[in-house]
Structure 1
Amino acid sequence: MWVSTVNLFSLSKFIKHHHFIALRSVSALVQLKPLSSDSDSDSGPQNTTKVVETLNRLKKKPIDALSYFDNLIKEGFLHDVCTYAAIVRILCHFRLNKELDLIFLQIIRKQNNVEFEVIDLLKALYHDGSDSFVRVSNAMVKAYVVLGMFDQVLEILFLTEHHGFVFPISSYNFFMNQLVHCGKVDTVLAVYQQLGRLGLSLNVYTYVIVLKALFKKGCLEEAFEVYREMDKAEVTPNEFAYSTFIEGLCMNGELDLGHQLLRAWAATKIPLGAFAYTVVIRGFCNDTRLEEAEGLLLFMETQGVVPDVHVYSALISGYCKFGNISKALALHSEMVSKDIKTDCVVVNLILKCFCQLGRVSEAVHQLKELEEIGIVDNISYNVVVDALCKLGRVDEAMVLFSEMKDNQMVLDVVNYTTMIYGYCLQGKLCDALILFKEMKEKGHEPDLVTYKILAVGFARCDFGQVAIDLLNDMKKQGLGPYFARDNMIIEGLCLGGKVKEAEAFFHSLQEKCLENYSAMFNGYCHADYSEKAFQLFMRISKQGFSVSKGSIFKLLNSLCINGDNAKAKMLFDRILTLNLEPSKIMYSKLIGSCCHAGEMGMARSVFDILISRGNTPNLMTYTMMINGYRKVNCMQKAFELFKDMKRQGITPDDVTYKILFNIHSKINLKSSSSS
């Protein structure tokens, strides 16, 4: 059977063994209670009979029937099991699933004075036919899930056999799938364990859902075991099953194994769709293995699997991520030439790449061309408008913004906020306020970001009171915690170079929270007040002080530029004690600064910390250290580092060899002079 393919690979080499989950029985998950019996109708049998007869006469007019049913409720009529069963049958026949869901929500919530239980209705409908009952049971499950009442579903699903019937396997599948989406994977596995007790024949969808749950938990060994159980039960996997398994391996760090299985299954003519290839191609792209990703695309086509927009989107995203816009464009052209319809996701990737490379004019040109064939959306425009604003080309951005209106595109808060940001960057505050007012008049409520941009813009241009008024308005709208308003003013003043005013405002706050201190620290960093930022950080970092890594790096960089390596090292050590793992750039910056100043003891200390925390120094870091030892005449240590670099498999470049040649020259010159 197909499982033998899995055994071709030494799974133990790829997967760490996990102990299988100790599944709890359903009885341990819920406090079960006896289910109610059929309730008597309060409306009297004669009235109920008339209502059922009327609904039956309207069974070919579902909207009229539902309207009649609802009007009776408004008139005070108390529907019972019989009348609810009659309307449910009509909704099922016409597949009106939304209306069916609402009916079950009414019953579960006990709206409209419903005085019977869901199980009573299920019993009344059980003999209507399997297709109808599946629809009914799915609606029941969905209603309970929407209300977060998972235990009640378990109670009904596993005790109804005592009432003479058992749900079809599709109902259990539907429930387990809902549980997976809600992240309740342990409950999924508990349900799976109990299904055998009911004597139900599990189908391929049951196994696939259980696999999804196991992969979500990272239990790969157990996933293989479920596949073996599937094989023993002689359940033939479908395309979805194979794709789920490959996707699960890739999402759990087993990309190479997923790739091997994909090719092995393809070789044995097992049906695999485009999705299976897409997940592996996306994995290769995320892992910077773009050539392998393209190779898999070619292999996919040789297997007769037609690539779709998602396959090309993964590849284009990979090349855009690394700034290779020419390759991304070539792939896009190839996709279009194969009559694969492009979409806004692909288009936006390309536009964003152009903008990140600083080629905004080309992005504008691309946007115009794509707009003519109708393949752009709000995000497409926003990507280009944002790039133009950041470059100070606000008038060009406004032209595109106006085009969006002319093209009857529905603008949203993000579109308006981007344009407001552009005006604020240019100091065009009146224009920003006009746009802000227009946004509100159009029914778009500003969010926290909008208010922050405006407040910072006014604070930077010495309109502190206007900024405060804006933030007071924000507070009235209930946006953000109280300290957010104060922090915006502090950071806005600092960004505008008004550090003294920011300090005065900060000190005027009667009750300061840690977030206020964080804002003051960020403000100092933005304004390059490195000494004050350092003192503030060191003073209160022991109190749970939380700041962004960006601000910390800015401070570290500033201290290194100023040659204050002692304080930079103190800051670095404090970062370590706070369990804030420094980025490799931080390590490199501090090591470089120490080497430049000839402080090799400090440089070596940071270098050793880098290695001790499981990181491998890159070529630049090794080269800086070797050059630093050269400058302080520690030639032996320089050579030792060079050997270590080679052992790590790092290839020296021209700069490294030039430094080593210089060391050799000094040693030879010294030897010649001594002889």
Structure 2
Amino acid sequence: MLGQSLWKTRPALWSFSKFSPIARKEMHYALDQLASSSSDEQEIIGTPNMNHSVNRVFELHRVEVVETLNTLREQPDKALSFFNRLKEDGFSHDVCTYASIIRILCQCCWERKLDSVLLEIIGREKHLGFKVMDLFEILEEGLEGEDSNLLVRLSNALVKAYVSVEMFDEVIDILFQTQRRGFIPHIFSCNFLMNRLICCGKVDMAIAVYQQLKRLGLKANDYTYGIMIKAFCRKGNFEKVVGIFQEMDEARVRPNAVAYTTYIEGLCMHGRTEFGYEVLKAWRESKIPLDDAFAYYVVIKGFCDEMKLEEAADVLFEAELHGIVLDTFPYGALIRGYCKCGNIDRALEVHDEMMSNGIKTNCVILSYILQSLCQMGRDFEAVNQFKKFTNFGIFLDEVCYNVVADALCKAGKVEEAVELLDEMKGKQISPDIINYTTLINGYCLQGGLARNGHARKAIGLLNHAEKQGLQCEIVMRNMIIKGLCIGGKVREAEDFLDSLPDKCFENDAALVDGYIESRLTKKAFKLFLKLANQGFLVRKASCSKLLSSLCKDGENYKALMLLKVMSDLNVEPTKLMYSQLIGAFFKAGNCINAQLLFDQIFARQQTPDLVIYTIMISGYCKMNLLQEALLLFNNMNERGIKPDVITYTVLINSHLKLNLVSLSSPDAPQNKDKKIMDASTFWREMKDKEIEPDVVCYTVLIDYYCRTNNLWDAIRIFDQMIESGLEPDNATYMTLISGYCKRGYLARALNLFEEMYRRGIQPDMRTISTVDHCILNAKRVVRTGGCQNLPDLHYPELLLVFSLKEGQCLKM
């Protein structure tokens, strides 16, 4: 009885003469109350008189508390209740009282209660006024006989407690401290520590602990060695793994199935699956114990990770031949591999094989299949597969539902997708924020919010999600704002933004995107500046889109201001943004500002890329400032930026055009060779640097030769282009056809025109008009009798020209 135990402590209390008579009286009164109370824990510590008495006990020395706990050694539940009640009523336990309750819990092996007390000490160590190691000093006093293992139990418990909160440095300190006291924790506790270190990614620390424990004389067991095999496998140090197996052999510890399988898994994890598979087969033949199902799984997964799917399928087939019972994991790995490489049909075959073998599928595998079907554009099939799985009674989670909802939305069946929400709720699946986001996005797709009722339904979904207690993400609101703008409902988007009770900067930024999509560039720029003045900058992608829109509208100075705002807010504009604005300035004939912006890139400690250099060179060339273009070209080369075919084409085209001008001037003979040499220099450079001309570059040369009446050179370049494997485009055909027509080669022009049509290149109106004009000129020559050797003007090529001119598609 608790009362009898407490009564025995009364003589000890009288021995403390230093306490006042009142204090002793109150302590006796408390003990009387405890002794006379029920054995039930609630009755022991719950009465008002008891509360009053315990509060008065706080005036007494901690020694009385320790003595009371000592009398309750045989009744740990009463001792722990007494200890906790004192703490709840404000009593400050010290190292002695904690040591007393820990002694009791260790002796009765109440591990969970002990863990709880130790975690409390660890969490409040800074406020308790003592260190954890002080407990050892208190408990060491008076140890004898059956209490000799108490410190080992405490150290084991401390190791577990520290490891559970990942305080690994403190655990290692415990190991050293206990070793100095002549003992070390049990091997199970050390294994727990090392395994947790590996799980937390502290592999090197785990290895160091193992080596230190070996020096301290700890005898490792098969689980210890298995942990070290896992550690060295994680590091990819397989020589050390072999060394661990040798250590086990010397210590006469037989490796278990986990150790062998871990080695195979390590090989597969580090891209050595083929060798791991050979080890697996060799060990099976040697009758070495293995976790067969897991060993085959890691090999199959390894081959799948290396995208050796046929090898993985062969291993799966072999496992089935050996009668090894496989679960969903190896099949799932192979299905995922086939889905990843786009072979969805093979993935479905493996899935059907798995089901026919009596292995149940799961929602994870099915989500791979559904996602793969959608990624390959087979949304309709994904929906059908989903319905098939549902009819089979297979559980599908919110991920599968979301994949199918997205597929339905893309197919324009948003209402059918919304019905899935009710289906999910009927199956006790709570739709998450991703499901609602997908549906709202479905309404927004392709300007869907422009349709009557769609905007209201999207906002209704948003409100419904909030009523379900879901924290609606900013992206959902942004979708609605942008969707309304794209659908032409800009005013509704502004009203929706104003109605948000907790709108944020990102919502305003979404309206900037919406304005841009709606071609309301002025509004977008105005809101952009407003946000910037508040210290907020929209996303870089939005800045880039806004700058592009400003440049298209000819608002180059506003675009320049946008770049300045970005710089002021410590955001570096992209090189694409610089190139767009430089190109816009050149288009407007403002080469000065283009050059200033180009120089600004250097001022910001950056180097322009090839695109920016090419735009600058092209801009100067179009303004006939070839000297400036050549200086930039040389500067680019000096900085190690290699020109590409576009750069060379710009220079060749500009020099050839200048040469055409010089040919038409009075001093053409003296300038001709020089100008041709300039263009040919760039052509030779391309060849020397193995830069292959593209269609545009060849077309520039063909155009030049046609304009200078060197038609046979133009034909030679055209044939050379085709021989190099390039396909002429509309511009190339147009250039050569015009050359033929100018020289009166109507038959050649019509033959080339027919070839162009045969290749599937639709002639534009300019090409058709050129040929038509050539035919009319030829007829005029015939009527005047100027030539008797013209080709027949009524053959099929002429019919083709006339039919195209009239907008008909007449096949030859």
TM-score (norm 1): 0.67
1:102 — aligned with what? Answer: 116
| Secondary structure in 2 matching 1:362 | helix
In structure 2, C-alpha distance between the alignment counterparts of 1:130 and 1:658, rounded to whole Å:
94
1:394-452: per-residue Cα shift (whole Å, max 9, x none)? 11101111211222222222222222222333212322222222222222112343344
| Secondary structure in 2 matching 1:117 | coil
1:130-149: per-residue Cα shift (whole Å, max 9, x none)? 99999875653343245443
Q: Is the 8 A contact 2:229 2:241 kept in 1?
A: yes
In structure 2, C-alpha distance between the alignment counterparts of 1:520 and 1:155, rounded to whole Å:
54
Question: Within 5 A, what are the aligned runs for 1:507-526?
Answer: 507-511=529-533, 516=538, 518-524=540-546
Report the number of matched residues. 550
Q: Does 1:506 align with 2:528?
A: yes
Q: Is the 8 A contact 2:309 2:334 kept in 1?
A: yes
In structure 2, C-alpha distance between the alignment counterparts of 1:608 and 1:204, rounded to whole Å:
68
Q: Does 1:429 align with 2:476?
A: no
Deviation at 1:545, TM superposition (A): 5.6
Q: Is the 8 A contact 1:491 1:522 kept in 2?
A: no
Q: Does 1:181 align with 2:199?
A: yes
2:292 — aligned with what? Answer: 273
In structure 1, C-alpha distance between the alignment counterparts of 2:685 and 2:559, rounded to whole Å:
21
2:227 alignment partner AA: I
1:502 alignment partner AA: A
**CA 328–139 in structure 1, closer or farther in 2 if over 3 Å, else same:** farther
Pick the aligned partner of 1:140 from 158, 168, 191.
158
In structure 2, C-alpha distance between the alignment counterparts of 1:400 and 1:240, rounded to whole Å:
44
Pick the aligned partner of 1:473 from 502, 505, 513.
502
1:411 — aligned with what? Answer: 431
2:472 alignment partner AA: P
| Secondary structure in 2 matching 1:153 | helix
Q: Is the 8 A contact 1:134 1:170 kept in 2?
A: no
Q: Does 1:347 align with 2:388?
A: no
In structure 2, C-alpha distance between the alignment counterparts of 1:470 and 1:249, rounded to whole Å:
59
In structure 2, C-alpha distance between the alignment counterparts of 1:572 and 1:132, rounded to whole Å:
79
In structure 2, C-alpha distance between the alignment counterparts of 1:284 and 1:525, rounded to whole Å:
48
2:465 — aligned with what? Answer: 439
Q: Is the 8 A contact 2:245 2:255 kept in 1?
A: no
**CA 347–133 in structure 1, closer or farther in 2 if over 3 Å, else same:** farther
In structure 2, C-alpha distance between the alignment counterparts of 1:406 and 1:126, rounded to whole Å:
65
Identity among equivalent pairs (%) = 35
**CA 327–517 in structure 1, closer or farther in 2 if over 3 Å, else same:** closer
Pick the aligned partner of 1:381 from 372, 378, 401.
401
**CA 542–121 in structure 1, closer or farther in 2 if over 3 Å, else same:** same
1:359 — aligned with what? Answer: 378
Q: Does 1:291 align with 2:310?
A: yes
Q: Which runs of 5+ in 2 are unaligned?
A: 1-60, 585-607, 616-642, 654-680, 703-720, 729-812
1:84 — aligned with what? Answer: 102
In structure 2, C-alpha distance between the alignment counterparts of 1:310 and 1:44, rounded to whole Å:
57
1:323 alignment partner AA: G
Deviation at 1:76, TM superposition (A): 4.1
1:617 — aligned with what? Answer: none
1:106 alignment partner AA: E
Q: Does 1:399 align with 2:399?
A: no
Pick the aligned partner of 1:323 from 339, 342, 345.
342
Deviation at 1:603, TM superposition (A): 13
Q: Does 1:44 align with 2:62?
A: no
**CA 82–67 in structure 1, closer or farther in 2 if over 3 Å, else same:** closer
Q: Is the 8 A contact 1:325 1:354 kept in 2?
A: yes
In structure 2, C-alpha distance between the alignment counterparts of 1:117 and 1:345, rounded to whole Å:
46
1:564 — aligned with what? Answer: none
Moved more, 149-158 or 366-375: 366-375
**Which is bigger in relative contact order (C-alpha 8 A, separation at least 6)?**
1
In structure 2, C-alpha distance between the alignment counterparts of 1:146 and 1:605, rounded to whole Å:
69
**CA 450–246 in structure 1, closer or farther in 2 if over 3 Å, else same:** farther
**CA 75–439 in structure 1, closer or farther in 2 if over 3 Å, else same:** same
Question: Within 5 A, what are the aligned runs for 1:270-669?
Answer: 270=288, 271-372=290-391, 373-425=393-445, 426-427=448-449, 428-460=454-486, 461-462=489-490, 463-466=492-495, 468-469=497-498, 473=502, 475=504, 484-485=506-507, 487-511=509-533, 516=538, 518-524=540-546, 569-570=610-611
In structure 2, C-alpha distance between the alignment counterparts of 1:117 and 1:191, rounded to whole Å:
21
Moved more, 513-522 or 164-173: 513-522
**CA 510–382 in structure 1, closer or farther in 2 if over 3 Å, else same:** closer
**CA 146–390 in structure 1, closer or farther in 2 if over 3 Å, else same:** farther
| Secondary structure in 1 matching 2:538 | helix
1:16 — aligned with what? Answer: none
Q: Is the 8 A contact 1:134 1:171 kept in 2?
A: no
Moved more, 438-447 or 250-259: 250-259
Deviation at 1:295, TM superposition (A): 0.9
**CA 422–607 in structure 1, closer or farther in 2 if over 3 Å, else same:** farther
Deviation at 1:502, TM superposition (A): 2.3
In structure 1, C-alpha distance between the alignment counterparts of 2:157 and 2:645, rounded to whole Å:
64
2:328 alignment partner AA: V
Deviation at 1:154, TM superposition (A): 0.7
Q: Does 1:120 align with 2:135?
A: yes
**CA 660–510 in structure 1, closer or farther in 2 if over 3 Å, else same:** closer
Q: Does 1:254 align with 2:272?
A: yes
In structure 2, C-alpha distance between the alignment counterparts of 1:536 and 1:607, rounded to whole Å:
43
Q: Is the 8 A contact 2:531 2:537 kept in 1?
A: no
Q: Is the 8 A contact 1:467 1:489 kept in 2?
A: no
Deviation at 1:323, TM superposition (A): 2.5
Q: Is the 8 A contact 1:518 1:546 kept in 2?
A: no
Deviation at 1:190, TM superposition (A): 1.7
1:355-388: per-residue Cα shift (whole Å, max 9, x none)? 2233333323332333342421111111111222
Q: Is the 8 A contact 1:451 1:474 kept in 2?
A: no
**CA 591–252 in structure 1, closer or farther in 2 if over 3 Å, else same:** farther
Deviation at 1:68, TM superposition (A): 6.6
In structure 2, C-alpha distance between the alignment counterparts of 1:603 and 1:236, rounded to whole Å:
75
In structure 1, C-alpha distance between the alignment counterparts of 2:438 and 2:469, rounded to whole Å:
17
Indicate the structure (1 or 2) with the bigger Cα radius of gyration.
2
2:183 — aligned with what? Answer: 165
**CA 117–334 in structure 1, closer or farther in 2 if over 3 Å, else same:** same
1:108 alignment partner AA: I
Deviation at 1:309, TM superposition (A): 0.7
| Secondary structure in 1 matching 2:301 | helix
1:291 alignment partner AA: E
Q: Is the 8 A contact 2:436 2:462 kept in 1?
A: yes
Deviation at 1:316, TM superposition (A): 0.4
1:283-336: per-residue Cα shift (whole Å, max 9, x none)? 322333211110111222344432221100000001111232222122112112
Q: Is the 8 A contact 2:477 2:507 kept in 1?
A: no
Deviation at 1:219, TM superposition (A): 4.1
In structure 1, C-alpha distance between the alignment counterparts of 2:726 and 2:515, rounded to whole Å:
52
1:120 alignment partner AA: L
1:419 alignment partner AA: L
